[in-house]
Structure 1
Protein backbone atom coordinates (compact mmCIF):
# COMPACT_ATOMS: atom_id res chain seq x y z
CA UNK A 1 0.00 0.00 0.00
CA UNK A 2 0.97 3.62 -0.44
CA UNK A 3 1.52 5.40 2.85
CA UNK A 4 1.85 8.85 4.36
CA UNK A 5 5.46 9.11 5.50
CA UNK A 6 5.96 12.71 6.64
CA UNK A 7 4.28 16.01 7.45
CA UNK A 8 5.44 19.60 7.78
CA UNK A 9 4.01 23.03 8.56
CA UNK A 10 4.77 26.72 8.58
CA UNK A 11 3.29 29.61 10.53
CA UNK A 12 4.43 33.20 9.94
CA UNK A 13 6.54 34.90 12.60
CA UNK A 14 3.92 37.45 13.66
CA UNK A 15 1.38 36.21 16.22
CA UNK A 16 -1.56 38.61 16.61
CA UNK A 17 -3.52 38.45 19.85
CA UNK A 18 -7.20 39.37 20.10
CA UNK A 19 -6.22 42.51 22.02
CA UNK A 20 -3.83 43.64 19.28
CA UNK A 21 -6.33 42.87 16.51
CA UNK A 22 -9.02 44.92 18.26
CA UNK A 23 -6.74 47.86 19.02
CA UNK A 24 -5.06 48.09 15.61
CA UNK A 25 -8.33 47.86 13.67
CA UNK A 26 -10.54 49.65 16.24
CA UNK A 27 -13.00 46.79 16.25
CA UNK A 28 -16.18 46.98 18.27
CA UNK A 29 -15.39 43.79 20.15
CA UNK A 30 -13.55 42.41 23.17
CA UNK A 31 -11.04 39.65 23.80
CA UNK A 32 -13.61 37.89 25.99
CA UNK A 33 -16.29 38.03 23.29
CA UNK A 34 -13.96 36.61 20.61
CA UNK A 35 -12.70 33.80 22.81
CA UNK A 36 -16.18 32.91 24.05
CA UNK A 37 -17.74 32.87 20.57
CA UNK A 38 -14.86 31.22 18.65
CA UNK A 39 -12.26 29.78 21.03
CA UNK A 40 -9.58 31.87 19.30
CA UNK A 41 -6.91 33.64 21.36
CA UNK A 42 -4.47 34.49 18.57
CA UNK A 43 -3.66 33.93 14.92
CA UNK A 44 -0.59 34.42 12.68
CA UNK A 45 -0.33 36.99 9.89
CA UNK A 46 2.24 36.88 7.10
CA UNK A 47 4.29 39.95 6.21
CA UNK A 48 3.90 41.88 2.96
CA UNK A 49 6.71 39.98 1.22
CA UNK A 50 5.25 36.55 1.94
CA UNK A 51 2.94 34.95 -0.61
CA UNK A 52 0.74 31.87 -0.58
CA UNK A 53 3.47 30.11 -2.59
CA UNK A 54 6.28 31.07 -0.22
CA UNK A 55 4.17 30.04 2.79
CA UNK A 56 3.46 26.68 1.11
CA UNK A 57 7.12 26.23 0.19
CA UNK A 58 8.17 26.86 3.80
CA UNK A 59 5.83 24.10 4.97
CA UNK A 60 7.36 21.69 2.44
CA UNK A 61 10.87 22.71 3.48
CA UNK A 62 9.92 21.78 7.04
CA UNK A 63 8.65 18.40 5.83
CA UNK A 64 11.71 17.68 3.69
CA UNK A 65 14.08 18.65 6.49
CA UNK A 66 13.00 15.43 8.20
CA UNK A 67 13.85 13.23 5.19
CA UNK A 68 16.60 12.50 2.70
CA UNK A 69 17.28 15.56 0.54
CA UNK A 70 17.20 13.43 -2.64
CA UNK A 71 13.48 12.76 -2.20
CA UNK A 72 12.50 16.09 -3.80
CA UNK A 73 13.78 14.87 -7.17
CA UNK A 74 11.41 11.90 -6.94
CA UNK A 75 8.22 13.91 -6.29
CA UNK A 76 5.76 13.05 -9.07
CA UNK A 77 2.69 15.09 -8.10
CA UNK A 78 2.14 18.37 -6.21
CA UNK A 79 -1.38 19.50 -5.30
CA UNK A 80 -1.99 22.72 -3.39
CA UNK A 81 -5.34 23.51 -1.80
CA UNK A 82 -5.86 27.26 -1.41
CA UNK A 83 -8.57 29.91 -1.70
CA UNK A 84 -6.44 33.00 -1.05
CA UNK A 85 -4.01 33.25 -3.98
CA UNK A 86 -4.51 36.60 -5.67
CA UNK A 87 -2.89 35.68 -8.99
CA UNK A 88 -4.95 33.65 -11.45
CA UNK A 89 -1.94 31.88 -12.94
CA UNK A 90 0.61 30.35 -12.58
CA UNK A 91 -0.91 28.23 -9.87
CA UNK A 92 0.53 28.14 -6.36
CA UNK A 93 1.53 24.52 -7.01
CA UNK A 94 3.49 25.58 -10.11
CA UNK A 95 5.35 28.14 -8.01
CA UNK A 96 6.06 25.61 -5.27
CA UNK A 97 7.37 23.20 -7.90
CA UNK A 98 9.76 25.89 -9.14
CA UNK A 99 10.85 26.81 -5.61
CA UNK A 100 11.61 23.16 -4.81
CA UNK A 101 13.25 22.37 -8.18
CA UNK A 102 10.95 19.36 -8.55
CA UNK A 103 11.35 19.13 -12.32
CA UNK A 104 9.55 15.80 -12.75
CA UNK A 105 6.30 16.67 -10.97
CA UNK A 106 2.78 17.40 -12.19
CA UNK A 107 1.44 20.40 -10.26
CA UNK A 108 -1.92 22.14 -9.91
CA UNK A 109 -4.21 23.86 -7.39
CA UNK A 110 -7.60 22.97 -5.95
CA UNK A 111 -10.02 25.56 -4.58
CA UNK A 112 -12.65 24.03 -2.33
CA UNK A 113 -12.19 26.69 0.36
CA UNK A 114 -12.01 25.19 3.86
CA UNK A 115 -12.72 21.73 2.44
CA UNK A 116 -9.71 22.13 0.16
CA UNK A 117 -7.23 19.84 1.88
CA UNK A 118 -9.72 16.97 2.09
CA UNK A 119 -10.53 17.40 -1.61
CA UNK A 120 -6.82 17.61 -2.49
CA UNK A 121 -5.99 14.48 -0.53
CA UNK A 122 -8.78 12.54 -2.23
CA UNK A 123 -7.60 13.60 -5.71
CA UNK A 124 -4.00 12.83 -4.74
CA UNK A 125 -4.90 9.37 -3.43
CA UNK A 126 -6.64 8.48 -6.67
CA UNK A 127 -4.06 10.00 -9.02
CA UNK A 128 -1.07 8.59 -7.16
CA UNK A 129 -2.24 5.06 -7.93
CA UNK A 130 -0.82 5.61 -11.42
CA UNK A 131 2.68 5.97 -9.96
CA UNK A 132 4.53 2.78 -9.06
CA UNK A 133 7.17 4.74 -7.18
CA UNK A 134 8.12 8.25 -6.10
CA UNK A 135 6.13 10.64 -3.95
CA UNK A 136 2.99 12.77 -3.94
CA UNK A 137 2.96 16.10 -2.11
CA UNK A 138 -0.34 17.49 -0.77
CA UNK A 139 -0.36 21.02 0.66
CA UNK A 140 -2.95 23.30 2.23
CA UNK A 141 -1.75 26.93 2.23
CA UNK A 142 -3.40 30.28 2.86
CA UNK A 143 -2.66 33.97 3.25
CA UNK A 144 -6.12 34.85 4.49
CA UNK A 145 -4.97 38.21 5.83
CA UNK A 146 -4.78 39.58 2.27
CA UNK A 147 -8.48 38.97 1.62
CA UNK A 148 -9.88 40.08 4.99
CA UNK A 149 -11.92 43.23 5.60
CA UNK A 150 -10.51 44.39 8.93
CA UNK A 151 -13.55 46.60 9.48
CA UNK A 152 -15.73 43.49 9.60
CA UNK A 153 -15.54 42.00 13.08
CA UNK A 154 -17.51 38.95 11.98
CA UNK A 155 -14.72 37.69 9.68
CA UNK A 156 -11.49 39.49 10.59
CA UNK A 157 -11.34 37.88 14.03
CA UNK A 158 -11.51 34.34 12.64
CA UNK A 159 -8.79 33.81 10.09
CA UNK A 160 -5.03 33.41 10.04
CA UNK A 161 -2.20 32.52 7.68
CA UNK A 162 -0.11 29.37 7.41
CA UNK A 163 0.41 26.07 5.61
CA UNK A 164 0.72 22.36 6.19
CA UNK A 165 2.08 19.61 3.96
CA UNK A 166 1.87 15.82 3.67
CA UNK A 167 4.06 13.42 1.67
CA UNK A 168 2.71 10.14 0.30
CA UNK A 169 5.09 7.37 -0.80
CA UNK A 170 3.59 5.88 -3.99
CA UNK A 171 3.57 2.19 -4.84
CA UNK A 172 0.75 1.88 -7.37
CA UNK A 173 -1.86 1.17 -4.72
CA UNK A 174 -4.00 3.45 -2.61
CA UNK A 175 -3.61 4.43 1.02
CA UNK A 176 -4.45 1.75 3.61
CA UNK A 177 -8.16 1.30 4.38
CA UNK A 178 -8.88 4.46 2.41
CA UNK A 179 -12.44 5.73 2.17
CA UNK A 180 -13.89 9.10 1.21
CA UNK A 181 -17.16 10.99 0.84
CA UNK A 182 -17.05 14.43 -0.77
CA UNK A 183 -19.99 16.76 -1.40
CA UNK A 184 -20.84 20.17 -2.80
CA UNK A 185 -23.95 22.21 -3.38
CA UNK A 186 -24.57 25.60 -4.92
CA UNK A 187 -24.85 28.40 -2.38
CA UNK A 188 -27.27 30.89 -3.87
CA UNK A 189 -27.07 33.02 -0.71
CA UNK A 190 -23.26 33.26 -0.95
CA UNK A 191 -22.96 32.43 2.73
CA UNK A 192 -19.17 32.52 2.35
CA UNK A 193 -17.71 34.39 -0.60
CA UNK A 194 -14.61 36.25 -1.78
CA UNK A 195 -15.45 38.98 -4.28
CA UNK A 196 -14.87 42.71 -4.96
CA UNK A 197 -16.61 44.98 -2.45
CA UNK A 198 -18.08 48.42 -3.19
CA UNK A 199 -14.59 49.93 -3.21
CA UNK A 200 -13.35 47.27 -5.61
CA UNK A 201 -11.21 45.48 -3.03
CA UNK A 202 -11.40 41.69 -3.07
CA UNK A 203 -12.53 40.65 0.41
CA UNK A 204 -14.15 37.76 2.22
CA UNK A 205 -17.76 38.00 3.43
CA UNK A 206 -19.63 35.50 5.55
CA UNK A 207 -23.07 35.06 7.05
CA UNK A 208 -22.32 33.43 10.39
CA UNK A 209 -25.86 32.21 11.00
CA UNK A 210 -26.02 30.48 7.60
CA UNK A 211 -22.68 28.80 8.24
CA UNK A 212 -23.76 27.63 11.68
CA UNK A 213 -26.94 26.13 10.24
CA UNK A 214 -24.97 24.46 7.43
CA UNK A 215 -22.61 22.81 9.92
CA UNK A 216 -25.40 21.72 12.24
CA UNK A 217 -27.85 20.47 9.62
CA UNK A 218 -25.53 19.11 6.92
CA UNK A 219 -21.91 18.68 7.99
CA UNK A 220 -22.42 16.98 11.35
CA UNK A 221 -24.94 14.36 10.11
CA UNK A 222 -22.64 13.60 7.16
CA UNK A 223 -19.63 13.19 9.45
CA UNK A 224 -21.61 11.06 11.89
CA UNK A 225 -22.69 8.68 9.12
CA UNK A 226 -19.16 8.45 7.72
CA UNK A 227 -17.48 7.94 11.09
CA UNK A 228 -19.92 5.19 12.02
CA UNK A 229 -18.84 3.25 8.91
CA UNK A 230 -15.35 2.84 10.35
CA UNK A 231 -14.67 -0.10 12.64
CA UNK A 232 -12.72 2.05 15.08
CA UNK A 233 -11.38 5.59 15.24
CA UNK A 234 -8.35 6.98 17.00
CA UNK A 235 -8.80 10.59 15.90
CA UNK A 236 -11.01 12.94 13.92
CA UNK A 237 -8.88 15.74 12.51
CA UNK A 238 -11.29 18.53 11.66
CA UNK A 239 -11.03 21.82 9.88
CA UNK A 240 -10.61 24.46 12.57
CA UNK A 241 -13.50 26.85 11.90
CA UNK A 242 -14.79 27.52 15.40
CA UNK A 243 -14.25 25.67 18.67
CA UNK A 244 -18.02 25.53 19.16
CA UNK A 245 -18.14 23.24 16.11
CA UNK A 246 -15.55 20.92 17.68
CA UNK A 247 -17.71 20.61 20.79
CA UNK A 248 -20.77 19.99 18.60
CA UNK A 249 -18.88 17.17 16.85
CA UNK A 250 -17.99 15.62 20.19
CA UNK A 251 -21.63 15.65 21.25
CA UNK A 252 -23.04 14.44 17.92
CA UNK A 253 -20.55 11.59 17.53
CA UNK A 254 -20.47 10.77 21.26
CA UNK A 255 -16.67 11.01 21.14
CA UNK A 256 -14.41 12.42 23.82
CA UNK A 257 -12.87 15.78 22.94
CA UNK A 258 -9.42 14.20 23.31
CA UNK A 259 -10.16 12.30 20.07
CA UNK A 260 -11.09 15.50 18.23
CA UNK A 261 -7.97 17.62 18.82
CA UNK A 262 -7.97 21.35 18.19
CA UNK A 263 -5.46 24.18 17.81
CA UNK A 264 -7.83 26.97 16.82
CA UNK A 265 -7.04 28.84 20.04
CA UNK A 266 -3.44 29.32 18.84
CA UNK A 267 -3.72 29.65 15.05
CA UNK A 268 -7.31 30.62 14.22
CA UNK A 269 -9.04 29.42 11.05
CA UNK A 270 -6.43 28.82 8.31
CA UNK A 271 -8.97 27.51 5.80
CA UNK A 272 -7.30 24.80 3.65
CA UNK A 273 -4.25 24.93 5.91
CA UNK A 274 -6.09 23.99 9.11
CA UNK A 275 -6.09 20.19 8.80
CA UNK A 276 -2.47 19.64 7.69
CA UNK A 277 -1.12 22.12 10.27
CA UNK A 278 -2.98 20.29 13.04
CA UNK A 279 -1.89 16.90 11.66
CA UNK A 280 1.74 18.00 11.75
CA UNK A 281 1.35 19.15 15.36
CA UNK A 282 -0.01 15.73 16.31
CA UNK A 283 2.85 13.98 14.49
CA UNK A 284 5.45 16.17 16.18
CA UNK A 285 3.83 15.49 19.56
CA UNK A 286 3.98 11.76 18.74
CA UNK A 287 0.23 11.42 19.20
CA UNK A 288 0.13 10.25 15.58
CA UNK A 289 2.99 7.90 14.72
CA UNK A 290 2.68 7.49 10.92
CA UNK A 291 3.28 3.76 11.36
CA UNK A 292 0.04 2.70 9.66
CA UNK A 293 -1.70 1.57 12.84
CA UNK A 294 -3.96 4.51 13.73
CA UNK A 295 -7.41 4.99 12.24
CA UNK A 296 -8.04 8.65 11.36
CA UNK A 297 -10.86 10.62 9.73
CA UNK A 298 -10.17 14.08 8.32
CA UNK A 299 -13.15 16.36 7.73
CA UNK A 300 -13.45 19.74 6.03
CA UNK A 301 -16.35 22.09 5.31
CA UNK A 302 -16.74 25.57 3.90
CA UNK A 303 -17.59 27.84 1.00
CA UNK A 304 -19.20 26.40 -2.09
CA UNK A 305 -20.87 24.99 -0.16
CA UNK A 306 -18.45 22.07 0.15
CA UNK A 307 -17.86 19.40 2.75
CA UNK A 308 -16.42 15.93 3.01
CA UNK A 309 -14.52 13.27 4.90
CA UNK A 310 -11.63 10.93 4.21
CA UNK A 311 -10.43 7.95 6.25
CA UNK A 312 -7.10 6.12 6.25
CA UNK A 313 -4.61 4.46 8.53
CA UNK A 314 -1.77 6.77 9.56
Structure 2
Protein backbone atom coordinates (compact mmCIF):
# COMPACT_ATOMS: atom_id res chain seq x y z
CA UNK A 1 0.00 0.00 0.00
CA UNK A 2 1.27 3.47 -0.83
CA UNK A 3 2.02 5.67 2.14
CA UNK A 4 -0.59 8.27 1.21
CA UNK A 5 -3.29 5.59 0.99
CA UNK A 6 -2.15 4.12 4.34
CA UNK A 7 -2.50 7.52 6.03
CA UNK A 8 -5.87 8.23 4.44
CA UNK A 9 -7.22 4.82 5.48
CA UNK A 10 -6.22 5.15 9.14
CA UNK A 11 -6.25 8.90 9.76
CA UNK A 12 -9.59 9.00 11.57
CA UNK A 13 -8.55 6.23 13.96
CA UNK A 14 -5.35 8.08 14.84
CA UNK A 15 -7.17 11.37 15.35
CA UNK A 16 -9.65 9.59 17.61
CA UNK A 17 -6.85 8.41 19.87
CA UNK A 18 -5.29 11.86 19.90
CA UNK A 19 -8.59 13.17 21.26
CA UNK A 20 -8.60 10.43 23.92
CA UNK A 21 -5.02 11.18 24.95
CA UNK A 22 -5.85 14.88 25.30
CA UNK A 23 -8.93 13.91 27.40
CA UNK A 24 -11.33 15.36 24.84
CA UNK A 25 -13.02 11.98 24.48
CA UNK A 26 -13.69 9.25 27.06
CA UNK A 27 -13.39 5.49 26.59
CA UNK A 28 -13.52 2.54 28.99
CA UNK A 29 -10.39 0.45 29.52
CA UNK A 30 -11.46 -2.36 27.18
CA UNK A 31 -12.11 0.05 24.31
CA UNK A 32 -8.78 1.73 25.01
CA UNK A 33 -7.01 -1.64 24.93
CA UNK A 34 -8.59 -2.53 21.58
CA UNK A 35 -7.60 0.82 20.12
CA UNK A 36 -4.06 0.39 21.47
CA UNK A 37 -3.81 -2.95 19.64
CA UNK A 38 -4.84 -1.27 16.38
CA UNK A 39 -2.28 1.50 16.87
CA UNK A 40 0.45 -1.08 17.54
CA UNK A 41 -0.47 -2.99 14.38
CA UNK A 42 -0.28 0.23 12.36
CA UNK A 43 3.12 1.01 13.88
CA UNK A 44 4.48 -2.43 12.97
CA UNK A 45 3.19 -1.99 9.41
CA UNK A 46 4.74 1.48 9.12
CA UNK A 47 8.08 0.30 10.53
CA UNK A 48 8.11 -2.46 7.91
CA UNK A 49 7.14 -0.45 4.82
CA UNK A 50 7.96 3.18 5.69
CA UNK A 51 10.82 2.91 8.23
CA UNK A 52 12.21 6.42 7.64
CA UNK A 53 8.90 8.19 7.20
CA UNK A 54 7.48 10.85 9.50
CA UNK A 55 4.34 8.74 9.85
CA UNK A 56 6.44 6.06 11.59
CA UNK A 57 7.76 8.60 14.08
CA UNK A 58 4.22 9.88 14.64
CA UNK A 59 2.85 6.38 15.26
CA UNK A 60 5.72 5.57 17.60
CA UNK A 61 4.75 8.54 19.80
CA UNK A 62 1.07 7.69 19.48
CA UNK A 63 1.75 4.06 20.49
CA UNK A 64 3.59 5.22 23.60
CA UNK A 65 0.68 7.50 24.44
CA UNK A 66 -1.80 4.68 23.87
CA UNK A 67 0.21 2.32 26.07
CA UNK A 68 0.33 4.86 28.91
CA UNK A 69 -3.38 5.64 28.56
CA UNK A 70 -4.41 1.98 28.57
CA UNK A 71 -2.37 1.01 31.60
CA UNK A 72 -3.21 4.15 33.55
CA UNK A 73 -6.84 3.18 33.03
CA UNK A 74 -6.07 -0.36 34.16
CA UNK A 75 -4.19 0.95 37.17
CA UNK A 76 -7.19 2.99 38.29
CA UNK A 77 -9.30 -0.17 38.16
CA UNK A 78 -6.79 -2.44 39.91
CA UNK A 79 -4.49 -2.36 42.92
CA UNK A 80 -1.44 -0.25 41.97
CA UNK A 81 1.00 -2.61 43.68
CA UNK A 82 -0.42 -5.70 41.97
CA UNK A 83 -0.64 -3.88 38.66
CA UNK A 84 3.05 -2.97 38.85
CA UNK A 85 4.32 -6.46 39.62
CA UNK A 86 1.77 -8.55 37.73
CA UNK A 87 1.34 -6.47 34.57
CA UNK A 88 3.71 -3.55 34.15
CA UNK A 89 6.98 -5.35 34.87
CA UNK A 90 6.10 -8.53 32.90
CA UNK A 91 5.08 -6.38 29.92
CA UNK A 92 8.36 -4.46 30.17
CA UNK A 93 10.18 -7.79 30.39
CA UNK A 94 8.49 -8.77 27.14
CA UNK A 95 9.32 -5.44 25.52
CA UNK A 96 13.00 -5.80 26.46
CA UNK A 97 13.19 -9.59 26.25
CA UNK A 98 16.20 -9.53 23.91
CA UNK A 99 18.26 -7.80 26.62
CA UNK A 100 17.22 -10.40 29.17
CA UNK A 101 18.29 -13.14 26.74
CA UNK A 102 21.55 -11.28 26.10
CA UNK A 103 22.17 -11.07 29.83
CA UNK A 104 21.69 -14.83 30.22
CA UNK A 105 23.98 -15.56 27.27
CA UNK A 106 26.79 -13.33 28.55
CA UNK A 107 26.47 -14.72 32.07
CA UNK A 108 26.61 -18.37 31.02
CA UNK A 109 29.48 -17.83 28.58
CA UNK A 110 31.50 -16.31 31.43
CA UNK A 111 30.28 -19.04 33.79
CA UNK A 112 31.62 -21.79 31.50
CA UNK A 113 34.89 -19.91 31.07
CA UNK A 114 35.22 -19.89 34.86
CA UNK A 115 34.42 -23.61 35.05
CA UNK A 116 36.96 -24.59 32.42
CA UNK A 117 39.62 -22.31 33.88
CA UNK A 118 39.19 -23.78 37.38
CA UNK A 119 39.16 -27.38 36.17
CA UNK A 120 42.27 -26.88 34.05
CA UNK A 121 44.32 -24.64 36.32
CA UNK A 122 44.93 -25.67 39.93
CA UNK A 123 45.78 -22.08 40.94
CA UNK A 124 42.81 -20.35 39.33
CA UNK A 125 40.47 -20.74 42.32
CA UNK A 126 43.03 -19.07 44.58
CA UNK A 127 43.39 -16.19 42.14
CA UNK A 128 39.65 -15.56 42.14
CA UNK A 129 38.56 -16.49 45.68
CA UNK A 130 41.73 -15.66 47.58
CA UNK A 131 44.03 -17.89 49.62
CA UNK A 132 42.24 -17.33 52.93
CA UNK A 133 38.87 -18.47 51.57
CA UNK A 134 40.35 -21.51 49.82
CA UNK A 135 42.42 -22.62 52.82
CA UNK A 136 39.50 -22.16 55.24
CA UNK A 137 37.11 -24.06 52.97
CA UNK A 138 39.56 -26.95 52.56
CA UNK A 139 39.77 -27.18 56.36
CA UNK A 140 35.97 -27.18 56.57
CA UNK A 141 35.72 -29.96 53.98
CA UNK A 142 38.24 -32.07 55.85
CA UNK A 143 36.28 -31.54 59.09
CA UNK A 144 33.07 -32.73 57.40
CA UNK A 145 31.19 -29.44 56.97
CA UNK A 146 31.95 -27.97 53.53
CA UNK A 147 29.47 -25.09 53.98
CA UNK A 148 30.70 -24.00 57.43
CA UNK A 149 32.04 -20.73 56.04
CA UNK A 150 28.44 -19.62 55.42
CA UNK A 151 27.34 -20.24 59.00
CA UNK A 152 29.10 -17.50 60.90
CA UNK A 153 27.24 -14.84 62.87
CA UNK A 154 23.57 -14.66 63.80
CA UNK A 155 20.71 -15.40 61.43
CA UNK A 156 19.50 -11.80 61.49
CA UNK A 157 22.99 -10.33 61.12
CA UNK A 158 23.75 -12.63 58.20
CA UNK A 159 20.44 -11.74 56.54
CA UNK A 160 21.06 -7.99 56.75
CA UNK A 161 24.71 -8.22 55.67
CA UNK A 162 23.96 -10.52 52.75
CA UNK A 163 21.04 -8.41 51.54
CA UNK A 164 23.12 -5.24 51.73
CA UNK A 165 25.94 -6.83 49.72
CA UNK A 166 23.67 -8.38 47.08
CA UNK A 167 21.65 -5.20 46.64
CA UNK A 168 24.82 -3.18 46.19
CA UNK A 169 26.00 -5.58 43.48
CA UNK A 170 22.62 -5.35 41.73
CA UNK A 171 22.58 -1.55 41.95
CA UNK A 172 26.09 -1.40 40.50
CA UNK A 173 25.04 -3.61 37.59
CA UNK A 174 22.01 -1.42 36.93
CA UNK A 175 23.72 1.98 37.19
CA UNK A 176 26.78 0.81 35.25
CA UNK A 177 24.49 0.76 32.24
CA UNK A 178 25.09 4.53 32.15
CA UNK A 179 28.56 3.69 30.80
CA UNK A 180 26.97 2.37 27.60
CA UNK A 181 26.44 -1.03 29.21
CA UNK A 182 30.18 -1.71 29.38
CA UNK A 183 30.26 -1.35 33.16
CA UNK A 184 27.38 -3.77 33.48
CA UNK A 185 29.23 -6.31 31.34
CA UNK A 186 32.29 -5.94 33.58
CA UNK A 187 30.29 -6.82 36.71
CA UNK A 188 28.64 -9.76 34.95
CA UNK A 189 32.02 -11.21 33.93
CA UNK A 190 33.39 -10.95 37.48
CA UNK A 191 30.34 -12.44 39.18
CA UNK A 192 29.70 -15.19 36.63
CA UNK A 193 33.30 -16.39 36.83
CA UNK A 194 33.21 -16.26 40.63
CA UNK A 195 30.04 -18.39 40.79
CA UNK A 196 31.61 -20.90 38.41
CA UNK A 197 34.80 -21.06 40.46
CA UNK A 198 32.78 -21.74 43.64
CA UNK A 199 31.00 -24.62 41.96
CA UNK A 200 34.07 -26.11 40.28
CA UNK A 201 36.14 -25.80 43.46
CA UNK A 202 33.68 -27.88 45.48
CA UNK A 203 33.44 -30.39 42.63
CA UNK A 204 37.23 -30.82 42.69
CA UNK A 205 37.06 -31.56 46.41
CA UNK A 206 34.27 -34.16 46.10
CA UNK A 207 31.62 -32.00 47.79
CA UNK A 208 29.62 -31.15 44.66
CA UNK A 209 26.21 -32.16 46.02
CA UNK A 210 26.87 -30.46 49.35
CA UNK A 211 27.66 -27.27 47.42
CA UNK A 212 24.48 -27.60 45.33
CA UNK A 213 22.43 -27.55 48.52
CA UNK A 214 24.56 -24.94 50.21
CA UNK A 215 24.85 -22.50 47.31
CA UNK A 216 21.69 -22.83 45.25
CA UNK A 217 19.08 -22.77 48.03
CA UNK A 218 19.64 -19.01 48.09
CA UNK A 219 21.66 -18.68 44.89
CA UNK A 220 18.78 -19.48 42.52
CA UNK A 221 16.96 -16.23 43.32
CA UNK A 222 20.19 -14.33 43.91
CA UNK A 223 21.88 -15.19 40.61
CA UNK A 224 18.70 -14.99 38.51
CA UNK A 225 17.94 -11.55 39.97
CA UNK A 226 21.51 -10.51 39.22
CA UNK A 227 21.06 -11.48 35.56
CA UNK A 228 17.84 -9.44 35.36
CA UNK A 229 19.59 -6.46 36.99
CA UNK A 230 22.32 -6.76 34.37
CA UNK A 231 19.64 -6.76 31.66
CA UNK A 232 18.33 -3.49 33.11
CA UNK A 233 21.84 -2.07 32.77
CA UNK A 234 22.02 -3.17 29.13
CA UNK A 235 18.66 -1.47 28.48
CA UNK A 236 20.10 1.83 29.70
CA UNK A 237 23.20 1.42 27.53
CA UNK A 238 21.13 0.52 24.47
CA UNK A 239 18.79 3.49 24.98
CA UNK A 240 21.84 5.77 24.66
CA UNK A 241 23.53 3.93 21.79
CA UNK A 242 20.45 3.08 19.71
CA UNK A 243 17.78 5.82 20.03
CA UNK A 244 16.00 4.72 16.86
CA UNK A 245 13.50 7.32 15.66
CA UNK A 246 13.59 9.17 19.00
CA UNK A 247 15.86 11.97 20.11
CA UNK A 248 18.77 10.44 22.05
CA UNK A 249 17.86 12.10 25.35
CA UNK A 250 14.19 11.11 24.95
CA UNK A 251 15.28 7.53 24.26
CA UNK A 252 17.51 7.60 27.35
CA UNK A 253 14.68 8.87 29.59
CA UNK A 254 12.34 6.11 28.43
CA UNK A 255 15.05 3.43 28.66
CA UNK A 256 16.20 4.50 32.12
CA UNK A 257 12.65 4.63 33.51
CA UNK A 258 11.75 1.20 32.11
CA UNK A 259 15.05 -0.29 33.28
CA UNK A 260 14.49 1.16 36.75
CA UNK A 261 11.08 -0.51 36.98
CA UNK A 262 12.64 -3.85 36.02
CA UNK A 263 15.41 -3.32 38.57
CA UNK A 264 12.84 -2.56 41.31
CA UNK A 265 11.08 -5.84 40.53
CA UNK A 266 14.20 -7.82 41.51
CA UNK A 267 14.32 -6.42 45.05
CA UNK A 268 11.77 -8.89 46.54
CA UNK A 269 13.76 -11.80 45.08
CA UNK A 270 16.99 -10.37 46.51
CA UNK A 271 15.36 -10.05 49.93
CA UNK A 272 14.09 -13.63 49.80
CA UNK A 273 17.54 -14.86 48.71
CA UNK A 274 19.15 -13.09 51.67
CA UNK A 275 16.55 -14.58 54.02
CA UNK A 276 17.20 -18.08 52.66
CA UNK A 277 20.96 -17.65 53.04
CA UNK A 278 20.68 -16.22 56.53
CA UNK A 279 18.08 -18.63 57.90
CA UNK A 280 17.97 -21.78 55.72
CA UNK A 281 21.29 -22.39 53.92
CA UNK A 282 23.23 -22.72 57.17
CA UNK A 283 21.10 -25.76 58.06
CA UNK A 284 21.35 -27.46 54.65
CA UNK A 285 23.65 -30.18 55.98
CA UNK A 286 21.05 -31.36 58.52
CA UNK A 287 17.91 -30.81 56.41
CA UNK A 288 16.47 -33.65 54.31
CA UNK A 289 18.03 -33.55 50.84
CA UNK A 290 14.63 -33.67 49.16
CA UNK A 291 13.57 -30.53 51.06
CA UNK A 292 16.69 -28.66 49.94
CA UNK A 293 16.13 -29.57 46.31
CA UNK A 294 12.42 -28.72 46.59
CA UNK A 295 13.38 -25.15 47.59
CA UNK A 296 15.81 -24.91 44.67
CA UNK A 297 13.31 -26.23 42.12
CA UNK A 298 10.49 -24.02 43.41
CA UNK A 299 12.75 -20.97 43.31
CA UNK A 300 13.87 -21.70 39.74
CA UNK A 301 10.33 -22.35 38.47
CA UNK A 302 8.79 -19.30 40.17
CA UNK A 303 11.35 -16.72 39.05
CA UNK A 304 11.59 -18.23 35.55
CA UNK A 305 7.82 -18.06 35.21
CA UNK A 306 7.78 -14.42 36.31
CA UNK A 307 10.44 -13.13 33.92
CA UNK A 308 10.27 -15.61 31.03
CA UNK A 309 6.74 -17.07 30.81
CA UNK A 310 4.31 -14.52 32.25
CA UNK A 311 5.55 -11.76 29.87
CA UNK A 312 4.59 -13.90 26.86
CA UNK A 313 1.20 -14.75 28.33
CA UNK A 314 0.40 -11.07 28.89
CA UNK A 315 1.77 -10.08 25.48
CA UNK A 316 -0.54 -12.64 23.89
CA UNK A 317 -3.45 -11.37 25.99
CA UNK A 318 -2.89 -7.79 24.80
CA UNK A 319 -1.88 -8.83 21.27
CA UNK A 320 1.54 -7.17 21.55
CA UNK A 321 4.34 -7.92 19.09
**Which TM-score band applies after superposition, normalised by the shorter structure?**
under 0.3
Larger strand percent: 1
Provide TM-score, normalisation by structure 2: 0.22
Provide TM-score, normalisation by structure 1: 0.23
* Higher relative contact order structure (alpha carbons within 8 Å, sequence separation ≥ 6): 1
Larger helix percent: 2
